[in-house]
Amino acid sequence: MKILFLGGGNMANALIGGMVKQGFAATDIHIIDPGSEARQRLAESYGVSCHAAAGDAPVAPDVLVLAVKPQQMREAVAPLVGRLGEALVVSIAAGLGMAALARWLGDHRRIVRCMPNTPALVGAGITGLCALPEVDAAGRALAERVLQAVGSTVWIDDEAQMDGVTALSGSGPAYVFLFIEALQQAASELGFSAEQGRQLAIETVRGAAALAAASNDPASLLRERVTSKGGTTEAALQVMLARGVKDGIVAGCLAAEARGRELGKLLGGD
């Protein structure tokens, strides 16, 4: 199986490393990246084949992973038009719709659009995927196998909801980092050292997430179990809710989704 990466960057590097660990043959993976240092690093780290230009790479790969910035995508894929055969195209370019990508690829229709998030860099990501109707079950399974190299996957039937995926899980790590930041600030004000505050905050978030993942109960019930009547947790939550913390998070996600739709229209325009 020939797998061709167009572009590099941290997410592509994580995918390549994860795929090699997962059992994909390094000799079957090819990368097109104009940066000589990036090519050397990838070749030395994983034993993959690296090329400076599309003309040097294999024709008609089984999988083409598009890992260039969406603003550069149209120009970047132009040399590949007519060379893809029946390749499955997997795009990890944020915000770029499949219709525009299909046009730019000469009406190639075997396209899967993906939205991984930054925890994928440590193998703990979550990726939303959607596909054009021309992608069959085998193609969907292959795309899933590629993205599961860096974490979990979830299929989205309606591409319009991909902006929601971006708002929830794509941008979501920033929301969690903000919460960790707030916990660390509180720890400092309570007299803890920076290292103590960091450990207390991060391990609390890690443990709570693990507990939620291990339970079939809704988050609201898990929260209630920690909240004793008249206790410390209730005192904290009353202040947070009064200051609009929960509503602010929901509103923020909706704002992110709306902005994603705006950017998608700009990116996909001819």
Q: So what's the pLDDT on residue 250?
A: 97
Q: So what's the pLDDT on residue 268?
A: 77
Q: So what's the pLDDT on residue 40?
A: 87
Record the tokens describing residue 156, joined without a space.
Answer: 């989205």
176-187 pLDDT, tens digit per residue, is 999 999 999 999
**Which parts of the chain register pLDDT below 50?**
none
Neighbours of 19 (CB within 10 A): 26
229-267 pLDDT, tens digit per residue, is 999 999 999 999 999 999 999 999 999 999 999 988 888
Record the tokens describing residue 38, joined without a space.
Answer: 């990036």
Residues forming a β-bridge with 126? 152
* Residue 64 near residue 88 (C-beta atoms within 8 A): yes
Residue with tokens 């038009």: 81
Record the tokens describing residue 257, joined without a space.
Answer: 């989704």
Q: So what's the pLDDT on residue 265?
A: 86
* Residue 215 near residue 222 (C-beta atoms within 8 A): yes
Amino acid identity of residue 158, one-letter, is D
Q: Give pTM, 2 decimals.
A: 0.92
